Amino acid sequence: MITRTLLAVTVISWMATPVLAHAFLNHAEPGAGATLAQAPQEIALSFTEKLEPTSSGMSISDAAGHDMEAAAPAISGNTVTVALKPLAAGTYRVSWHAVSLDSHRTEGSYSFSVVPPG
């Protein structure tokens, strides 16, 4: 029984190569919940899978809902970056959506704050 199970698992794993999976957020800069003394000039997100450039993206908004992107997001491989307008002190919301090459979609959002010292 166990031998059959292991054999089946091995066969399935082999058949699955190469794998195209959902793209999950792997790293964000600045990260979720960050409190920054200096306003960032860009947001950079990296994902666990390569992205479909035409269907993936990100937006940044301030507390009043104003868009804070200075340009359209740049998507390369598994990363998305976007340049920002000058950010004043306050809390900002990053909203992203990612479509991996197999067309599976994921999305997410998080906040960070800019709090100048003093």
Partner 1 sequence: MSNHFTRLAARMHVIPPLRRCAFLAAGLLCLPAAAQAHGILGDRFFPATIASDDPFAADELALPTITSFGHETDYEVEYSKSIFRGFALGIGAGYVDARPPGEQASTGWDNLEISPSLELFRDPGHEIILTGGLDWEIGGSGSQSVAGRSSTFTPTFKYVKGFGDLPDSMAYLKPIAVTGTVGYALSGRNGEANSIEWAGAIEYSFLYLQNNVKDQGFSNFTAHLTPIVEYNFSSPVSAGGGGTTGTINPGLIWSGQVEQFAVEAMIPVNRASGSGVGVIAQLHFYIDDMFPQSLGRPIFGGPR
Residue 99 touching partner 1 (CB under 8 A): no
Tokens of 104: 């599976």
Chain centroid to CA 72: 15
User: Which residues in 83-102 are b (16+ Cβ under 10 Å) and which e?
Assistant: ebeebeeeebebebbbbbee
Could you say which residues in the range 56-75 bind partner 1, by CB under 8 A?
Answer: none
Residue 54 touching partner 1 (CB under 8 A): no
Could you say which residues in the range 16-45 bind partner 1, by CB under 8 A?
Answer: 16, 19-22, 24-26, 28, 31-34
- The piece of 1-9, 36-44, 59-67, 75-83 that touches partner 1 (CB under 8 A) is 1-9
Q: 77: left (phi > 0), else alpha (psi -120 to 50), else beta?
A: left
Q: Which residues bind partner 1 (CB under 8 A)?
A: 1-2, 5, 8-9, 12, 15-16, 19-22, 24-26, 28, 31-34, 48-49, 102-104, 106-111
